[in-house]
Amino acid sequence: MNIVRVDREAMRRNYQAIKAHVGREVEVMAVIKADGYGHGMVEMALTLQGAGVRHFGIATVEQGIALRQAGIKGQLVILLGGRAEEISTMQSHSLEPVIFDSDQFAEFSAVAGQLPGRLAVHLKIDCGMGRLGFKPEEAFAWSEKIKASAGLKLVGVMSHFPSADGDLDLTRHQNEIFGRCVETVRASGASIKAHIANSAATLRGKEFCWDMVRPGLALYGCYPSPDPLWQRTPLVPVMSVVSTIVQVEDAPADKGISYGHIDRTRRPSRLAVLPIGYADGFSRSLSAGVGKVLIRGRRAPIIGRVCMNVTVVDVTDIPEACRGDEVIILGRQGNEQISADEIAGWMGTISYEVLCLLGNNMKRQYIN
């Protein structure tokens, strides 16, 4: 009854637009954590691999195993590092963890040293995110420790921007700090790849791209913020969400609707019931006119509370609406469109959360 429609061709086009923007010499690591931002990690990885992507960013070892089982061949980087108990699995599946902390380094170095072979790792520096990573002034020392560790092999140096979508001065400053780290870490001549750019930094310009970029959001067709700057890289939304009307009924004026009767009809109305609610990732914060959906190419406001699996919308101004009509929760219908950014605005959140909530709670259908 509710379907998350994922357009593979839109994903390919977004990748090609990003690739054209960064140029041939910069590699693209597609970030597909959180089940591909709600789009399906394995499907998105296969689609991207088919389009030429050879590097993927994921959160956990389990995700890496699933990708290898599905036939993903390229580099898989565990952005959250994984656990020392998982190191032999990382080796057998060629998964590359990020090293960001001294305790984690000690554990990994000890376990990897007991196993044959060397585990490829990426050194993470905290250039201002205030989260995971070593201090910039310790970058060189940690790179030397990793190189000296019998079971580890340093293949990357990386960081992450906190405000690449907004604060250009801060982002430039952090990029300079990162540049100094890259220089010292590479001083010993090793071929270590540098990567720091998320979608926003990638789309901003070459100065942030280094050897490899790590876009997530942009691949799924969303822009980092409302700034028109981004639009020079054309992106197409990959996800749409479709529901169906299960009932249409007339209601008199001043009738209380849904739990708590927080809304009442203001006039004799026609109301449509949709089989979607917060259990499907359609947030309760959209209740009582905050959220809208598309029916027959027009906007219908939500009336009353969004329930667990049910939502009522006001279709008084769409008199042809009837049971069985397609309802667009996210996406385009006729000349109207509801974007993940618009829903995020209604909910007081960001498009990332909208994609995860809707995409990870309903059945998906892949097209193209």
Q: Which positions are catalytic?
A: 33, 259
Q: Which is nearer to ligand PLP, 216 or 281 (CB)?
A: 216
C-alpha span between 278 and 306 (Å, rounded): 7
Report d(CA 20, CA 169) in Å as an integer: 25
Q: Which residues pair with 294 in a beta bridge?
A: 299, 328
Nearer to ligand PLP, 203 or 318 (CB): 203
Closest approach, Cβ 161 to ligand PLP, in A, equals 9
Query: What gap in Å lies between CA 49 and CA 366, rounded to an integer?
Result: 16
- Nearer Cβ to ligand PLP (218/313): 218
Which residue's CB is nearer to ligand PLP, number 215 or number 291? Answer: 215
Which residue spans within 80-172 are E strands per DSSP? Answer: 95-99, 119-124, 152-158
Nearer of residues 79 and 245 to ligand PLP, judged by Cβ: 79
Find the residue with minimal CB distance to ligand PLP.
216
What DSSP line would sit under 148-168, residue for residue? H-TTEEEEEEE---SSTTT-H
* CB 122, min distance to ligand PLP, A: 10
Q: Give the closest residue to 41 by CA, choosing from 359, 362, 301, 367.
A: 359
Contacts of 191 (CB under 8 A, 6+ apart): none
Strands 292-295 vs 256-257: parallel, antiparallel or unpaired: unpaired
Question: Dihedrals φ, ψ of 120, to 5°?
Answer: -70, 130
Which is it for the CA torsion 227, 29, 46, 25, positive or negative? positive
What tokens does 59 get?
A: 């959160």
Residue 29 or 362: which CB sits closer to ligand PLP? Answer: 29
List of residues contacting ligand PLP (CB under 6 A): 31, 33, 57, 79, 160, 198-199, 214-217
Smallest gap from Cβ 214 to ligand PLP, in A, equals 4
CB of 229 to ligand PLP, least distance (A): 15
Q: How far is the CB of 352 from ligand PLP (least distance, A)?
A: 7
Find the shortest distance in angstroms from Cβ 216 to ligand PLP. Answer: 3
Rounded CA gap, 225 and 210, in Å? Answer: 23
Alpha carbon distance 208, 141 (integer Å): 24
